[in-house]
Amino acid sequence: MDKLRLFLATMVLALLAVAAAYALDALPKAPPVPRDNPMTPAKVELGKKLYFDPRLSSTGTVSCNTCHDVRKAGDDGLPVSVGVEGKKGTRSAPTVWNAAFLSVQFWDGRSPNLEDQAKGPIINPVEMGMPDHAAMLRKVTEIPAYVEEFRQVFGGDDPVTVDNVVRATAAYERTPLTPNSPFDRFKAGDKAALSAQAKRGMKLVETVGCITCHSGPVFAGPALPEGQGFYMKFPTMAGTPYDTTYRLSADPGRYEVTKNEDDRSMWRVAQWRNIARTAPYFHNGSVPALDEAVRVMARTQLGRDLKPDEVADIVAFLEALTGEFPVQTVPQLPGMEENDTTK
Protein backbone atom coordinates (compact mmCIF):
# COMPACT_ATOMS: atom_id res chain seq x y z
CA MET A 1 0.00 0.00 0.00
CA ASP A 2 2.89 2.38 0.78
CA LYS A 3 4.36 1.76 -2.68
CA LEU A 4 0.96 2.44 -4.24
CA ARG A 5 0.62 5.68 -2.30
CA LEU A 6 4.10 6.73 -3.40
CA PHE A 7 3.25 5.91 -7.01
CA LEU A 8 0.03 7.90 -6.83
CA ALA A 9 1.77 10.88 -5.25
CA THR A 10 4.46 10.81 -7.93
CA MET A 11 1.85 10.54 -10.70
CA VAL A 12 -0.11 13.48 -9.30
CA LEU A 13 2.96 15.70 -9.05
CA ALA A 14 4.11 14.81 -12.55
CA LEU A 15 0.76 15.32 -14.18
CA LEU A 16 -0.13 18.47 -12.28
CA ALA A 17 2.52 20.36 -14.22
CA VAL A 18 0.95 19.24 -17.49
CA ALA A 19 -2.63 19.73 -16.39
CA ALA A 20 -1.99 23.20 -15.00
CA ALA A 21 -1.77 24.63 -18.50
CA TYR A 22 -5.31 23.45 -19.19
CA ALA A 23 -6.96 23.59 -15.79
CA LEU A 24 -9.79 25.88 -14.81
CA ASP A 25 -10.67 27.01 -18.32
CA ALA A 26 -13.74 29.09 -19.12
CA LEU A 27 -16.20 27.52 -21.55
CA PRO A 28 -15.37 28.54 -25.14
CA LYS A 29 -18.06 30.39 -27.05
CA ALA A 30 -18.34 27.65 -29.68
CA PRO A 31 -17.31 24.00 -29.97
CA PRO A 32 -15.04 22.56 -32.65
CA VAL A 33 -16.89 21.67 -35.86
CA PRO A 34 -15.57 19.08 -38.34
CA ARG A 35 -14.82 20.32 -41.83
CA ASP A 36 -16.94 17.60 -43.42
CA ASN A 37 -20.04 18.54 -41.42
CA PRO A 38 -20.41 22.32 -41.30
CA MET A 39 -23.33 23.61 -39.26
CA THR A 40 -26.21 25.47 -40.85
CA PRO A 41 -29.50 26.52 -39.23
CA ALA A 42 -31.45 24.18 -41.51
CA LYS A 43 -29.21 21.21 -40.73
CA VAL A 44 -29.41 21.89 -37.00
CA GLU A 45 -33.20 22.10 -37.16
CA LEU A 46 -33.40 18.82 -39.07
CA GLY A 47 -31.07 17.21 -36.54
CA LYS A 48 -33.22 18.46 -33.69
CA LYS A 49 -36.28 16.78 -35.19
CA LEU A 50 -34.38 13.51 -35.60
CA TYR A 51 -33.10 13.81 -32.03
CA PHE A 52 -36.64 14.13 -30.66
CA ASP A 53 -38.30 11.62 -32.97
CA PRO A 54 -39.29 8.32 -31.27
CA ARG A 55 -40.25 6.83 -34.64
CA LEU A 56 -36.56 6.08 -35.18
CA SER A 57 -36.89 3.30 -32.57
CA SER A 58 -38.34 -0.16 -33.09
CA THR A 59 -41.32 0.50 -30.82
CA GLY A 60 -41.88 4.14 -31.71
CA THR A 61 -41.46 5.09 -28.07
CA VAL A 62 -37.77 5.98 -27.57
CA SER A 63 -35.86 8.92 -28.99
CA CYS A 64 -32.38 10.27 -28.33
CA ASN A 65 -34.03 12.77 -26.02
CA THR A 66 -35.58 9.99 -23.93
CA CYS A 67 -32.24 9.28 -22.27
CA HIS A 68 -30.47 12.57 -23.00
CA ASP A 69 -33.20 15.07 -22.20
CA VAL A 70 -32.13 18.55 -23.27
CA ARG A 71 -35.07 20.06 -21.41
CA LYS A 72 -33.37 18.90 -18.23
CA ALA A 73 -29.67 18.37 -17.55
CA GLY A 74 -29.09 16.40 -20.74
CA ASP A 75 -29.55 12.99 -19.16
CA ASP A 76 -32.47 11.07 -17.64
CA GLY A 77 -31.60 11.19 -13.93
CA LEU A 78 -31.56 7.40 -13.68
CA PRO A 79 -28.74 5.08 -12.62
CA VAL A 80 -29.04 3.35 -15.99
CA SER A 81 -31.31 4.26 -18.89
CA VAL A 82 -34.48 2.46 -19.94
CA GLY A 83 -34.87 1.71 -23.64
CA VAL A 84 -37.36 -0.11 -25.83
CA GLU A 85 -39.69 -2.58 -24.13
CA GLY A 86 -38.42 -1.44 -20.72
CA LYS A 87 -34.94 -2.88 -21.27
CA LYS A 88 -32.21 -1.47 -19.08
CA GLY A 89 -28.64 -0.75 -20.00
CA THR A 90 -25.61 -1.18 -17.76
CA ARG A 91 -24.27 2.37 -17.79
CA SER A 92 -25.54 5.78 -16.85
CA ALA A 93 -26.51 8.13 -19.70
CA PRO A 94 -23.91 10.93 -20.07
CA THR A 95 -25.25 14.44 -20.52
CA VAL A 96 -25.46 15.84 -24.03
CA TRP A 97 -24.94 19.40 -22.78
CA ASN A 98 -21.40 20.49 -23.77
CA ALA A 99 -20.66 17.02 -25.18
CA ALA A 100 -19.44 18.81 -28.31
CA PHE A 101 -16.23 19.67 -26.44
CA LEU A 102 -15.36 16.01 -25.79
CA SER A 103 -12.77 14.45 -28.09
CA VAL A 104 -14.38 10.99 -27.83
CA GLN A 105 -17.90 9.88 -26.95
CA PHE A 106 -19.43 7.25 -24.62
CA TRP A 107 -17.96 6.31 -21.26
CA ASP A 108 -15.51 3.95 -22.94
CA GLY A 109 -14.57 6.34 -25.74
CA ARG A 110 -15.61 3.94 -28.48
CA SER A 111 -16.79 6.72 -30.81
CA PRO A 112 -14.38 9.41 -32.05
CA ASN A 113 -17.04 12.05 -32.63
CA LEU A 114 -20.73 12.88 -32.36
CA GLU A 115 -21.44 11.64 -35.89
CA ASP A 116 -20.18 8.15 -35.11
CA GLN A 117 -21.85 8.21 -31.71
CA ALA A 118 -25.24 8.93 -33.25
CA LYS A 119 -25.16 5.66 -35.19
CA GLY A 120 -24.95 3.43 -32.12
CA PRO A 121 -28.13 3.86 -30.08
CA ILE A 122 -30.41 3.40 -33.09
CA ILE A 123 -29.37 -0.24 -33.55
CA ASN A 124 -28.56 -1.03 -29.93
CA PRO A 125 -31.10 -3.70 -28.89
CA VAL A 126 -31.41 -2.22 -25.42
CA GLU A 127 -31.74 1.42 -26.49
CA MET A 128 -33.72 2.18 -29.67
CA GLY A 129 -33.79 -1.41 -30.88
CA MET A 130 -33.79 -1.09 -34.66
CA PRO A 131 -32.59 -4.31 -36.34
CA ASP A 132 -30.29 -2.32 -38.64
CA HIS A 133 -29.82 1.16 -40.05
CA ALA A 134 -31.73 0.24 -43.19
CA ALA A 135 -34.88 -0.24 -41.11
CA MET A 136 -34.45 3.25 -39.67
CA LEU A 137 -33.98 4.73 -43.13
CA ARG A 138 -37.18 3.07 -44.34
CA LYS A 139 -39.09 4.79 -41.55
CA VAL A 140 -37.64 8.17 -42.45
CA THR A 141 -38.25 7.81 -46.18
CA GLU A 142 -41.88 6.88 -45.53
CA ILE A 143 -42.40 10.46 -44.31
CA PRO A 144 -42.47 12.80 -47.36
CA ALA A 145 -41.83 15.92 -45.29
CA TYR A 146 -38.60 14.38 -43.97
CA VAL A 147 -37.43 13.45 -47.48
CA GLU A 148 -38.01 17.00 -48.67
CA GLU A 149 -36.19 18.45 -45.68
CA PHE A 150 -33.20 16.16 -46.27
CA ARG A 151 -33.18 17.21 -49.92
CA GLN A 152 -33.14 20.89 -48.96
CA VAL A 153 -30.30 20.39 -46.46
CA PHE A 154 -28.09 17.91 -48.31
CA GLY A 155 -29.22 18.02 -51.95
CA GLY A 156 -28.92 15.10 -54.35
CA ASP A 157 -31.39 12.54 -55.61
CA ASP A 158 -31.06 10.24 -52.58
CA PRO A 159 -30.39 12.50 -49.59
CA VAL A 160 -31.77 10.20 -46.87
CA THR A 161 -28.69 8.20 -45.94
CA VAL A 162 -27.24 6.97 -42.68
CA ASP A 163 -24.39 9.44 -42.96
CA ASN A 164 -26.76 12.35 -43.48
CA VAL A 165 -28.99 11.26 -40.59
CA VAL A 166 -26.04 11.29 -38.20
CA ARG A 167 -24.56 14.47 -39.68
CA ALA A 168 -27.78 16.32 -38.97
CA THR A 169 -28.16 14.78 -35.53
CA ALA A 170 -24.57 15.65 -34.61
CA ALA A 171 -25.02 19.20 -35.87
CA TYR A 172 -27.88 19.63 -33.42
CA GLU A 173 -25.94 17.94 -30.62
CA ARG A 174 -23.26 20.62 -30.96
CA THR A 175 -25.75 23.31 -29.97
CA PRO A 176 -26.66 22.42 -26.34
CA LEU A 177 -24.09 24.57 -24.53
CA THR A 178 -24.30 26.04 -21.03
CA PRO A 179 -22.33 29.29 -20.86
CA ASN A 180 -22.03 31.93 -18.17
CA SER A 181 -21.67 29.77 -15.07
CA PRO A 182 -20.52 31.56 -11.91
CA PHE A 183 -17.07 30.12 -12.62
CA ASP A 184 -17.10 31.50 -16.18
CA ARG A 185 -18.10 34.93 -14.90
CA PHE A 186 -15.30 34.71 -12.35
CA LYS A 187 -12.81 33.88 -15.10
CA ALA A 188 -14.12 36.86 -17.08
CA GLY A 189 -13.20 39.18 -14.22
CA ASP A 190 -16.22 39.17 -11.91
CA LYS A 191 -14.44 38.24 -8.69
CA ALA A 192 -17.74 38.32 -6.79
CA ALA A 193 -19.23 35.59 -8.98
CA LEU A 194 -17.82 32.86 -6.73
CA SER A 195 -18.60 32.61 -3.04
CA ALA A 196 -15.77 32.38 -0.53
CA GLN A 197 -16.60 28.70 -0.08
CA ALA A 198 -16.49 28.05 -3.84
CA LYS A 199 -13.11 29.80 -4.03
CA ARG A 200 -11.80 27.54 -1.28
CA GLY A 201 -13.13 24.57 -3.22
CA MET A 202 -11.43 25.80 -6.39
CA LYS A 203 -8.14 25.92 -4.54
CA LEU A 204 -8.71 22.47 -3.07
CA VAL A 205 -9.31 20.77 -6.42
CA GLU A 206 -5.89 22.07 -7.43
CA THR A 207 -3.99 21.15 -4.27
CA VAL A 208 -5.69 17.80 -3.70
CA GLY A 209 -4.96 16.79 -7.29
CA CYS A 210 -8.42 16.63 -8.87
CA ILE A 211 -7.27 18.75 -11.82
CA THR A 212 -4.82 16.03 -12.78
CA CYS A 213 -7.79 14.59 -14.67
CA HIS A 214 -10.48 17.25 -14.51
CA SER A 215 -9.02 20.08 -16.53
CA GLY A 216 -9.81 21.72 -19.85
CA PRO A 217 -12.93 23.54 -21.06
CA VAL A 218 -15.44 21.07 -19.58
CA PHE A 219 -13.16 19.71 -16.84
CA ALA A 220 -12.91 16.35 -18.62
CA GLY A 221 -9.21 16.61 -19.45
CA PRO A 222 -7.21 18.80 -21.80
CA ALA A 223 -8.63 19.68 -25.20
CA LEU A 224 -7.43 16.93 -27.54
CA PRO A 225 -7.82 16.21 -31.27
CA GLU A 226 -10.96 14.38 -32.33
CA GLY A 227 -10.70 10.67 -31.61
CA GLN A 228 -7.89 11.02 -29.09
CA GLY A 229 -9.43 10.25 -25.73
CA PHE A 230 -8.31 11.23 -22.26
CA TYR A 231 -8.70 8.17 -20.04
CA MET A 232 -8.02 7.31 -16.43
CA LYS A 233 -8.28 4.12 -14.43
CA PHE A 234 -11.28 4.12 -12.10
CA PRO A 235 -11.08 3.05 -9.44
CA THR A 236 -7.31 3.38 -9.19
CA MET A 237 -7.46 1.79 -5.76
CA ALA A 238 -9.53 -1.34 -6.31
CA GLY A 239 -10.94 -3.26 -3.38
CA THR A 240 -11.73 -0.30 -1.14
CA PRO A 241 -15.05 -0.24 0.74
CA TYR A 242 -16.27 2.34 -1.77
CA ASP A 243 -15.35 0.03 -4.65
CA THR A 244 -17.26 -2.82 -3.04
CA THR A 245 -20.29 -0.79 -2.00
CA TYR A 246 -20.78 0.92 -5.36
CA ARG A 247 -19.54 -1.92 -7.62
CA LEU A 248 -17.07 0.40 -9.31
CA SER A 249 -14.83 -2.36 -10.69
CA ALA A 250 -17.61 -4.64 -11.94
CA ASP A 251 -17.64 -3.07 -15.42
CA PRO A 252 -14.36 -3.59 -17.34
CA GLY A 253 -14.71 -0.20 -19.05
CA ARG A 254 -12.63 0.48 -22.14
CA TYR A 255 -11.39 -3.11 -22.10
CA GLU A 256 -14.66 -4.11 -23.77
CA VAL A 257 -13.65 -1.96 -26.75
CA THR A 258 -9.97 -2.80 -27.11
CA LYS A 259 -9.65 -6.21 -25.37
CA ASN A 260 -6.35 -4.86 -24.06
CA GLU A 261 -5.80 -5.71 -20.39
CA ASP A 262 -4.17 -2.31 -19.89
CA ASP A 263 -7.59 -0.77 -20.62
CA ARG A 264 -9.46 -2.69 -17.93
CA SER A 265 -11.31 -0.19 -15.71
CA MET A 266 -10.15 2.68 -17.92
CA TRP A 267 -12.78 5.34 -18.61
CA ARG A 268 -13.11 8.59 -20.48
CA VAL A 269 -12.86 11.26 -17.81
CA ALA A 270 -16.34 12.62 -17.10
CA GLN A 271 -17.01 16.33 -17.42
CA TRP A 272 -17.68 18.47 -14.36
CA ARG A 273 -19.82 21.16 -15.96
CA ASN A 274 -23.36 21.05 -14.57
CA ILE A 275 -22.36 18.08 -12.42
CA ALA A 276 -24.58 19.33 -9.62
CA ARG A 277 -27.57 18.58 -11.88
CA THR A 278 -26.53 15.23 -13.35
CA ALA A 279 -26.90 12.81 -10.44
CA PRO A 280 -26.57 9.89 -9.98
CA TYR A 281 -22.85 9.60 -10.56
CA PHE A 282 -20.21 7.46 -12.24
CA HIS A 283 -20.46 5.02 -15.12
CA ASN A 284 -23.00 2.84 -13.34
CA GLY A 285 -24.99 5.61 -11.67
CA SER A 286 -24.38 3.99 -8.30
CA VAL A 287 -23.69 7.10 -6.21
CA PRO A 288 -26.77 9.26 -5.66
CA ALA A 289 -25.28 12.40 -4.09
CA LEU A 290 -22.51 14.80 -5.14
CA ASP A 291 -20.85 15.02 -1.73
CA GLU A 292 -20.54 11.24 -1.62
CA ALA A 293 -19.14 11.23 -5.16
CA VAL A 294 -16.45 13.66 -4.01
CA ARG A 295 -15.53 11.40 -1.11
CA VAL A 296 -15.42 8.35 -3.38
CA MET A 297 -13.15 10.05 -5.91
CA ALA A 298 -10.76 11.40 -3.28
CA ARG A 299 -10.36 7.99 -1.66
CA THR A 300 -10.30 5.71 -4.69
CA GLN A 301 -8.26 7.96 -6.98
CA LEU A 302 -6.01 9.98 -4.70
CA GLY A 303 -5.88 7.98 -1.49
CA ARG A 304 -7.31 10.92 0.45
CA ASP A 305 -9.96 10.92 3.15
CA LEU A 306 -11.33 14.44 2.96
CA LYS A 307 -12.66 16.31 5.98
CA PRO A 308 -16.35 17.28 5.91
CA ASP A 309 -15.54 20.96 5.38
CA GLU A 310 -13.23 20.08 2.48
CA VAL A 311 -15.98 18.05 0.85
CA ALA A 312 -18.44 20.92 1.31
CA ASP A 313 -16.01 23.41 -0.21
CA ILE A 314 -15.37 21.23 -3.27
CA VAL A 315 -19.11 20.70 -3.73
CA ALA A 316 -19.60 24.48 -3.63
CA PHE A 317 -17.06 24.89 -6.41
CA LEU A 318 -18.67 22.13 -8.48
CA GLU A 319 -22.05 23.80 -8.07
CA ALA A 320 -20.47 26.99 -9.45
CA LEU A 321 -19.86 25.12 -12.72
CA THR A 322 -23.59 25.06 -13.46
CA GLY A 323 -24.15 27.25 -16.49
CA GLU A 324 -27.17 28.80 -18.13
CA PHE A 325 -29.42 26.32 -19.94
CA PRO A 326 -30.97 27.89 -23.05
CA VAL A 327 -34.62 26.90 -23.34
CA GLN A 328 -35.12 23.84 -25.54
CA THR A 329 -38.49 23.44 -27.21
CA VAL A 330 -39.93 20.28 -28.71
CA PRO A 331 -39.96 20.59 -32.51
CA GLN A 332 -42.95 19.86 -34.70
CA LEU A 333 -42.09 16.47 -36.14
CA PRO A 334 -42.72 15.88 -39.85
CA GLY A 335 -45.85 13.85 -40.47
CA MET A 336 -47.16 14.27 -36.91
CA GLU A 337 -49.92 16.75 -36.16
CA GLU A 338 -49.20 16.58 -32.45
CA ASN A 339 -45.99 15.73 -30.62
CA ASP A 340 -45.80 13.70 -27.48
CA THR A 341 -43.53 15.91 -25.38
CA THR A 342 -42.84 13.08 -22.95
CA LYS A 343 -40.60 11.29 -25.47
Reference 75, options 324, 234, 268, 285; nearest CA is 285
12 pLDDT tier (thresholds 50, 70, 90): low
Q: Are the folds of 2-29+178-319 and 41-173 the same? A: yes
Average pLDDT score over residue span 41-51: 98
What are the residue ranges spanned by the domains of the chain? 2-29+178-319, 41-173
CATH superfamily of 41-173: Cytochrome c-like domain (1.10.760.10)
At a CB cut-off of 8 Å and minimum separation 6, what does 28 contact? Answer: 101, 217
Please give the Cα distance from 187 to 25 (Å, whole number).
8
pLDDT band at 197 (very low <50, low <70, confident <90, very high): very high
Find the radius of gyration of the CA atoms of the chain.
21
- % of the chain surpassing 70 pLDDT: 91
Instruction: With cut-offs at 50, 70 and 90, classify the pLDDT of residue 334.
Output: very high
* Structure confidence by residue, pLDDT tens digits, 122-177: 999 999 999 999 999 999 999 999 999 999 999 999 999 999 999 999 999 999 99
| Cβ–Cβ < 8 Å for 277, 324 | no
276-306 pLDDT, tens per residue?
999 999 999 999 999 999 999 999 999 999 9
Q: Which of 85, 115, 127, 319 is catalytic?
A: 127
Q: Cα(145)–Cα(329) distance, rounded to whole angstroms?
A: 20
CA atoms of 249 and 151, how far apart (whole Å): 48
Read off the pLDDT of residues 107-123 as tens digits, 9 standing for 90 and up: 999 999 999 999 999 99
The least confident of 17-21, 266-270, 326-330 is 17-21
pTM above 0.75, yes or no: yes
**What average pLDDT does this structure show over 181-200?**
97
Residue-wise pLDDT tens digits, 59-95:
999 999 999 999 999 999 999 999 999 999 999 999 9
Q: Taking the CA of residue 287 as centre, how many other CA atoms within 13 Å lie in the half-sphere pointing to its CB?
A: 22
Residues with Cβ within 8 Å of residue 296, at least 6 apart in sequence = 242, 246, 248, 282, 287
Tell me, what's the pLDDT at 190? 97
CA dist 311 and 23 (Å) reads: 20
> Mean pLDDT over all residues of the chain?
93
Q: Which CATH number fits domain 2-29+178-319: 2.60.40.10, 3.40.50.970, 3.40.50.150, 1.10.760.10?
A: 1.10.760.10
What is the spatial distance between Cα 253 and Cα 108, in angstroms, rounded to a whole number?
6
Strand partners, 231: 268
The answer to whether residue 127 is catalytic is: yes
